Amino acid sequence: MKSRHLAALSIVEDALQSRLADAARSVGENASEIPRVTLPPTRDPSHGDFATPVALSAAKLWKCDPMKVASALADHRDGGIAGVASLEAARPGFVNVRMAPGFWSGVIAEVLERGDDYGRSDALAHTGPVLIEFTSANPTGPLNVVQGRSGSLGATLVEMFRFAGATTASETYVNDAGAQLDTLAASLYARYAALFGVDVPFPEEGYPGDYVIDVAHKLRDRDGDKWLHAGPDERRRALGKFGRDVIVEEQRADMERFGVHFDVWFSEATLHDGGAIDDVVADLQTRGFAYEKDGAIWLRSTDCGDDRDRVLRRSDGRPTYLAADAAYHRDKLRRGYKYLVNILGPDHHGYIARLSALVAALGHPGSIEVLLAQQVTLKRGDETVAMSKRAGNTVTLAEVMDEVGVDAARFFFIERAPESHLVFDLALAVEHSQKNPVFYVQYGHARIASILRKAAETGKSALLERARAAADVAHLGHPAEIALARRLSDFERTVVDAVNDRAPHRIAEYARNVAGDFHGFYTGCIVLTDDDVLTSARLSLSIAAKTVLASSLRILGVSAPDSM
């Protein structure tokens, strides 16, 4: 379902499209092969509310003056367009559109009518079920800040897809197979034995963080000194499993605290134990997408766009990570997902082509997209924060949440495009100032809540009811009021465009802009006045802004406080 004001804007676009077709016929062009009119909002209100550059594109095709095309579109001789106050041809070939006041009052009325559903659409309902996999971590230590960024990006993207009408699920992949669990078991045994005064050499490539000592205490509390007397193979398997289970539960707790919920925690070990890896390799061979060479089995990934073929099974019979990926992605597709989105860490650029080739070989070309969550640098003012006592070699997500809180962590991790390096200033994240973006946005929501409380406390409850019913929104007209209404009108389009461009940071940017426009309105317009009609109208606008701010923050996984 498209918002009413966007539907009205589509009517304006169609009317201009018809005028463009007339212009094409007048110069002997094929009216069915002309550029499409779109009306994005202008950055500068002095240029109108919306503007289309379509005359520039058409003039390039027709080899004529773009201002002549723009003037033809802005010509009023055939009558005006419903809802449009004015059309203006502007150099070098834009058509600026200024909407009638009723358009903006209609936006506010629609926000108040739809409430939390305002901005939701079915724009992506056609995509089919989407599965977004992110924060997939080794179960050998606490989640770090890059995984925190991936969690914030992934969870926000899931909410954006759902807000735009796509059936979407979230999943994380537990890398609990291979030599890393053996290394964890050896690290854990060294720490466990030390609790009993037994000196066991710590493995050279072991996990040195203090968290392993915590796991060792839990193992001792459960089993006493049992594992000091067990055989090495039994001990390795048991301690690897115990360490994995404890650490995964801690990761799960950190994610839930972070406001990130996964529909599925998928275990890589189940692929090995259930024979899925052997099966998918055999399946790829049978279908001609894998072949044997030098005793190994290779994926014909060059046939599917990769720069070279990749090994699925080594000559000694051991499967590669790619074979496990093949079994995992086949499992995803067999569960009915039509489109897969993977968010991987900064060192996985080489996986983009090979995963695309893999799903193509599985019979689903074009069904996967890989996003990379780039590196995070933590700073505290001018000081770079590099190490963690608990994790040993990185700062954990839990430590960041402890220092700045969940809201600031979620917002700061999402602020920049996924492909951009992120500098996270821990000192700024706890500032109560306009410099702190999450404080600025949340303060905007809290300020509106305070206005509404004051209205109720000063005997204006009846006006609040009129405001919620949008009874007087037609009286809005101050430039700051219209600027805020313009911003609120763009919520649905912002979400849809951000989903299509895989740009969750734009929701954070949008929330800041809404807060900025509200602060500008609050500064330029007294809300609670002696004029009941004007007060009702401005309360309507305030409630609408509060609604959109709350929805934006909800998508970002950030709370919308009523007081600060």
- C-alpha to C-alpha distances, 206 to 180, 189, 397, 415, 434, nearest whole angstrom: 9, 11, 21, 35, 45
What's the pLDDT at 388?
65
* Integer-rounded Cα radius of gyration of the chain: 29
* CATH architecture under which domain 435-556 falls: Orthogonal Bundle (1.10)
> How far, in Å, CA of 387 to CA of 399, rounded?
11
Helix (H, G, I), strand (E, B) or coil at 196: coil
Q: What is the dihedral of CA 183, 189, 194, 199, to 10 degrees?
A: -80
Local structure of residue 267 (DSSP, 8 states):
E
Selection from 132, 437, 439 nearest residue 260 by Cα: 132
3 φ/ψ sector (left φ>0, alpha ψ -120 to 50, else beta):
beta
305 φ/ψ sector (left φ>0, alpha ψ -120 to 50, else beta):
left
- Residue 43: CB atoms within 10 A of its CB come to 7
Instruction: Give me the average pLDDT of each 10-residue run along the chain (564 residues).
Output: 87 94 86 89 92 95 93 81 92 95 96 97 94 94 95 98 98 93 97 97 92 97 97 97 97 98 97 96 96 96 92 96 97 97 91 94 96 94 78 84 98 96 97 97 98 96 96 96 96 97 98 98 96 98 98 98 95
Could you tell me if 133 and 171 are in contact, meaning their C-beta atoms sit under 8 angstroms apart? yes
Delimit the domains of the chain by residue range.
4-99, 376-429, 435-556
Q: Extract the tokens encoding 265.
A: 């925690």
Selection from 397, 398, 407 nearest residue 429 by Cα: 407
Cβ contacts of 432 within 8 Å, gap of 6 or more: 439, 564
What's the pLDDT at 110?
98
The b-or-e profile of 205-216 (16+ CB within 10 A means b, else e) is ebbebebbeebb
Selection from 463, 460, 473, 514 nearest residue 490 by Cα: 514
CATH of 4-99, one of 3.30.460.10, 3.30.2350.10, 3.90.700.10, 3.30.1360.70: 3.30.1360.70
What's the pLDDT at 27?
80
Preceding amide of 437 cis, omega within 30:
no
> How far, in Å, CA of 281 to CA of 323, rounded?
7
Cβ contacts of 335 within 8 Å, gap of 6 or more: 131
Selection from 218, 357, 244 nearest residue 290 by Cα: 357
